[in-house]
Amino acid sequence: MSHAVTMDSVAAQPQWKTAVGWAASILIAVLFLASGIWKISDPFGWSVLLHQLKVPQAVSLPFAVTLGTFETFTGLLFLVPGYRRIAAWLGSALLIIFMIYMAVNYTALHGVDCSCFPFVKRAVNPAFFAEDFGMLVLAVVSGVLAGTSAKLRGAAIMFGAVAICAVVFLGIASARQTGIKAPPTILVDGKPYPLSQGKVFIYFYDPECMHCLDAGERMAHLNWGSTKFVGQPVVRPQFAPAFMERTGLKGATANDFQLLKKTFPYTSTPAGVAIENGREVAALAQFDEPEPAATLKKIGFAQ
């Protein structure tokens, strides 16, 4: 009966209001769903991004899962006419809180990538607030032009289903973290360097090895994206700066050869290890064309 009342109230509106309401609802729903599903499908990756946005590391993972759950839930609500007013309140609250947080931390986060949407790059700048305000307007329009609200039972069931999916995705992502555990930190340029967050590629090389030099020059042309490159000279570390400059590699130099070799043993140089969130994803031993680019792109460490 509540559904029937909702549809009757929608039908009683002028057609242009119905059309505008649906257009606003679908557009804002797509934005919330894209952002939310991305977070719950890659919780560890998003925990790293949130930590870069000044969210404490200790809570970044549960916060990523929780935020992704609410965004996905909100996006689904926008697609159901009877729940659009609830979606408008919830979506508006999320957007306002997000904008306030960014405004408070604007000085520290200015220019930082804060994209919540796959394949779309957004940086913290004045345009960011204009874009989020535009999304807020869409949410309000959807709520204002919505019909009578339906009972909350269906929304509660929907939220439970989304929450279960988020937990399942978290379990799958956790199961993938099964490679060799990296040391929590290593010495890089003489300072502690964490390996527990994000993607790190460690390149073992001999500064006087032509094969290492050739592989380094080819890797210098890769688009590493968010992957951090760390070079580890296996001998003659005093030549490391010259090697990095000659190859064109942009990265840091590790000073923890014995610890790294013990943790990630290899047979000869050049060699490499891809680490994500503190676990080995792949060990690379082939550095002749088309490697290592093919493997690095396959595992998402280069583009």
Given a cut of 80, whether residue 115 has pLDDT beyond it is no
pLDDT recorded at residue 157: 93
The rounded distance, in Å, linking the Cα atoms of 80 and 102 is 30
Given a cut of 90, whether residue 25 has pLDDT beyond it is yes
pLDDT recorded at residue 5: 42
pLDDT recorded at residue 139: 94
The rounded distance, in Å, linking the Cα atoms of 162 and 32 is 13
Phi, psi of 234 (to 5 degrees): -90, -20
| Predicted model pTM | 0.62
The rounded distance, in Å, linking the Cα atoms of 129 and 98 is 10
Among 94-103, 177-186, 222-231, 241-250, which stretch is predicted with the lowest mean pLDDT?
A: 177-186
Asked if 109 and 102 count as a contact pair (C-beta separation under 8 A), the reply is: yes
β-partners of residue 233 are 205
pLDDT recorded at residue 48: 67
Residue position matching structure tokens 């396959």: 298
The rounded distance, in Å, linking the Cα atoms of 140 and 172 is 36
Given a cut of 70, whether residue 9 has pLDDT beyond it is no
Given a cut of 60, whether residue 8 has pLDDT beyond it is no
Q: Is 266 buried (19+), middle (13-18) or exposed (0-12) by CB count in 10 A? A: middle
State mean pLDDT over 235-247: 93
Given a cut of 50, whether residue 176 has pLDDT beyond it is yes
Q: What is the pLDDT of residues 30-88, one digit of tens each?
A: 999 999 998 998 887 787 678 778 888 678 889 999 999 999 999 999 999 999 999 99
Contacts of residue 146, defined as CB under 8 A and 6 or more positions apart, other chains included, come to 21, 25, 81, 82, 84, 85, 88
The rounded distance, in Å, linking the Cα atoms of 250 and 16 is 55
Choose between 16 and 229: higher pLDDT: 229
Q: What is the pLDDT of residues 263-281, one digit of tens each?
A: 988 877 889 999 998 889 8
Please report which residue ranges of the chain form alpha helices under DSSP H.
Answer: 2-11, 15-41, 43-52, 57-78, 84-104, 106-109, 126-144, 152-176, 210-219, 240-247, 257-263, 293-298
pLDDT level of residue 26 (50, 70, 90 thresholds): very high
Chain-wide mean pLDDT for the chain?
87
Q: Is 81 buried (19+), middle (13-18) or exposed (0-12) by CB count in 10 A? A: buried
Given a cut of 90, whether residue 124 has pLDDT beyond it is no
Choose between 138 and 49: higher pLDDT: 138
